[in-house]
Structure 1
Amino acid sequence: MQVQIKVGVVLFLVGAAGCVTSGKYEKKAKESAANETRAKACEEQVAALTASNESLQRDLTAATQAHQELKVQAAAAEAKSAQYEQLAGSLQRQIRAGQIEISELRGKMIVKLKDKILFSSGSAKLSEEGRAALGVVADVFKDMKGKNVVVAGFTDDIPVASGQYRDNWELSTARAVAVVRYLTSRGVPPHMLGAAGFSEFRPIVANDTPANRSQNRRIEIALTPADYEAPVVEPR
């Protein structure tokens, strides 16, 4: 009887020990799983924060570049305005007389000259009055850097009657070239200059009255950012 009791006690103790060990294992396993879950969540948070930081860095870089571009544009706008004021101040007399108009829009400055101040009818020879006005323009343009100066000639729709020019294409182009050559003679670098003739095909008003035809007969000098840089030639 006593032996049976002892055996039962031993078996009970062994079973109890086994239950305790199994319980601790399950508890540790649950803790380990919970730790892994937390670790995974932390990794995901770190990855999300890293991605967010990279996005913020990109945004900051883009914002910095945009700020720098705005500063450059503001400086360029200020410079253009200074050039506009300089030219407008120098040509006050011609502007008041209605012989010259100056405008500035979207980075382009345009000097518009009536043909009667520059040329006689059907001619591409500059008048003395025209040379005087273009001399003032040249004095402003010749020291500018990083600019194009494109001279364009325009006529009305009346055909060329006679003379050395066959039609308004030739006349408008010859007048533009005459202005370019004069600007060059007054010190404007040739690589800045270009000439174009548009004949009668770009009127600013209808060619239906003498006054309107007079507006369409014009020379326009456009000042724009340069798209060409003259190569440096080493002296021999």
Structure 2
Amino acid sequence: MRRFPWRLWLYAIVITGAAGAGGYFTWQYRSQGIKAKDDLALCSKNLTSLQTTAGDSGKQLKACTDQLGASTLKATELEKQNGELAKNFDATKDELAALRAQKAEADKRMAAIEDIRKQFAKMIDTGQLRVSARRGQLVISLPSEVLFPTGSSELSKQGEYAVVEVGAVLKKFPDRRYLVVGHTDNQDFAKPKDGATVCVPTDNWQLSTARALTVTRVLVTAGMDAKALIPAGVGANDPIASNASSEGRQKNRRIEIALLPAVNELPALPAGLADETGGAAAAPAPAPTPAPKK
């Protein structure tokens, strides 16, 4: 009887087990390799996605940075504009205040002019004088026929009364100054004879100046401040009517008292101009002496 081949069977079993184990481990290795490949592919995909996201985020960051820079620049510009607007607003407020002050002065001047006109209502109604606006100034006009004889610079009694009445009104406005201007027509008058001892005018210009001085002296006698009066004569050089007719010449023969602007109504002079008075008030001018009676 032959013996059972245990060794062969044992070898067969061992080899079969080893083959099975090898197959199992081979399968495990392959499975892990496939999984590793899949994981690697997934990681690569995720990396690509993250890189893309990072690139997009970088672009967004750059865009945000650029926008921030633009916003900062715009904010700086707006702040600068705001500063300019604030300056302009302050300047506008100052200009408005100046305009209001000018309007207040203009209203004050108009009130004074209206007051003067009302004060002369009686003399206007009786034809002793006219009150009008000329070259932007209030002008009180007295006809020479009321004041002076023909060719003379000596006031008639009626003329003296009229000038004193005018002075009584104007001295109520001590803060105003007046230009007293003599006017004539263009007609010649009799010249003084040689050797005449009486000082008489030789032409219309001299006559108009002498008449203005006479009226000024009477105004001072009536109580007006000499510093508020400026006498002048223009002869026939400033007519208000044609000298071709007797009516026109009569209108041109006149004394005008023009209301001058107050100092605060005048425009400011350049700062570089020196003050001749050194900031102090000018010394009072001597009052004109009364004209000698003839």
- TM-score band by shorter chain is 0.7 to 0.9
Distance between the aligned counterparts of 1:216 and 1:98, measured in 2?
Answer: 16
- After TM superposition, the structure 1 = structure 2 runs for residues 106-185 of structure 1, keeping only pairs within 5 Å, are 108-144=137-173, 147-163=176-192, 164-185=200-221
Contact 2:174 2:225 in 1 (8 A): no
Residue of structure 2 aligned with 1:43, choices 72, 83, 86:
72
* C-alpha displacement of 1:45: 3.7
Distance between the aligned counterparts of 1:59 and 1:208, measured in 2?
Answer: 58
Contact 2:176 2:262 in 1 (8 A): yes
Q: Which runs of 5+ in 2 are unaligned?
A: 1-28, 193-199, 267-274, 284-294
- Equivalent residue pairs, number: 234
Distance between the aligned counterparts of 2:89 and 2:157, measured in 1?
Answer: 58
Distance between the aligned counterparts of 1:87 and 1:177, measured in 2?
Answer: 22
Match of 1:221 in 2: 257
* Greater Rg over alpha carbons, structure: 2
Letter of the aligned partner of 2:151 in structure 1? G
Higher mean C-alpha displacement, 111-120 vs 182-191: 182-191
Residue of structure 2 aligned with 1:212, choices 214, 238, 248:
248
Higher relative contact order (CA 8 A, sep 6+): 1
Higher mean C-alpha displacement, 45-54 vs 145-154: 45-54
What secondary structure does 1:103 align onto?
A: strand
Higher mean C-alpha displacement, 149-158 vs 118-127: 118-127
Distance between the aligned counterparts of 1:106 and 1:198, measured in 2?
Answer: 16
Match of 1:74 in 2: 103
TM-score by length of 2: 0.66
Match of 1:103 in 2: 132
Distance between the aligned counterparts of 1:96 and 1:68, measured in 2?
Answer: 41
- Post-superposition CA distance 1:118-173 (Å, at most 9, x none): 22211122233333333333334335365331111110011131241111111111
- After TM superposition, the structure 1 = structure 2 runs for residues 86-101 of structure 1, keeping only pairs within 5 Å, are 86-101=115-130
Q: Which runs of 5+ in 1 are unaligned?
A: none
CA RMSD between the two structures: 3.3
What secondary structure does 2:235 align onto?
A: coil
Distance between the aligned counterparts of 2:180 and 2:226, measured in 1?
Answer: 12
Residue of structure 1 aligned with 2:224, choices 184, 188, 212:
188
Distance between the aligned counterparts of 2:53 and 2:204, measured in 1?
Answer: 104
Contact 2:128 2:162 in 1 (8 A): no
TM-score by length of 1: 0.79
Contact 1:152 1:173 in 2 (8 A): yes
Letter of the aligned partner of 2:281 in structure 1? V
Contact 2:185 2:253 in 1 (8 A): yes
Contact 1:107 1:224 in 2 (8 A): no
Letter of the aligned partner of 1:30 in structure 2? K
Match of 2:281 in 1: 232
* C-alpha displacement of 1:233: 7.1
* C-alpha displacement of 1:34: 2.0
Distance between the aligned counterparts of 2:236 and 2:251, measured in 1?
Answer: 12
Structure 1 residues 67 and 94 mapped into 2: Cα distance closer, same or farther (>3 Å)? same
Distance between the aligned counterparts of 1:45 and 1:221, measured in 2?
Answer: 64
Contact 1:146 1:225 in 2 (8 A): no
Letter of the aligned partner of 2:261 in structure 1? P
Distance between the aligned counterparts of 1:132 and 1:23, measured in 2?
Answer: 110
Distance between the aligned counterparts of 1:146 and 1:200, measured in 2?
Answer: 31
